A and B are shown apart, each in its own frame.
Chain A
Amino acid sequence: IAGITQAPTSQILAAGRRMTLRCTQDMRHNAMYWYRQDLGLGLRLIHYSNTAGTTGKGEVPDGYSVSRANTDDFPLTLASAVPSQTSVYFCASSDGPPSGANVLTFGAGSRLTVL
């Protein structure tokens, strides 16, 4: 089934530890995104990539890094996790670069708890 796979589904992590959330898509979409979703807030963009080999910062990039070595994979790394990074993380992709009719396909999410 075509779509986006995220791993892990959920994780409890000690503060200060390094963590990588994995995201793989099989739709050959050019653009990929990482969002975090917190109760009472809208989805907030962390980082994005318009095409393989390029990345950009979103609204809340501090404490996170990404890479886009190929079209399919877009991992998100927390170098040293802090409790404020407790959230649900969604990876998403879209067929082309951002445009008016840019429909996003989302992964199922990764629930991260930092203690």
Chain B
Amino acid sequence: GQNIDQPTEMTATEGAIVQINCTYQTSGFNGLFWYQQHAGEAPTFLSYNVLDGLEEKGRFSSFLSRSKGYSYLLLKELQMKDSASYLCAVMDSNYQLIWGAGTKLIIKP
């Protein structure tokens, strides 16, 4: 079966750096997405990786290793507003999105 694994919850301190990991086993691969979802709100797009390596976008970076079935989202200079759930999703060979359950990130002052 297809599977996306990410930690259920993480805690970090304001101003620090946090890395949220995502491992996947899917039928084929057509890209990996990260979305941010604040409590009670809609998911919003953060990043897309289809080739190996690091994609940087401001305070957020996303890394992909296709051979390892692994990605991480790196958040730098954490702010209180970064408290949210972070959803990892992989597009499989049928162009269907397979979603992880999300990682709830708690930022403490």
A residues with CB within 8 A of B: 40-45, 58-59, 90, 97-109
Contacts and interface: CB of A to CB of B under 8 A. Distances in A.
B43 A90 contact: yes
A98 B39 CA distance: 27
B42 A101 contact: no
Nearest to B88: A42
Nearest to A50: B95
Nearest to B31: A100
Nearest to A98: B95
Interface in B1-36: 4, 8, 30-31, 33, 35
A42 B91 contact: no
A109 B43 CA distance: 10
B44 A42 contact: no
Contacts of B97: 43, 45, 102, 104
B50 A42 contact: no
B48 interface: yes
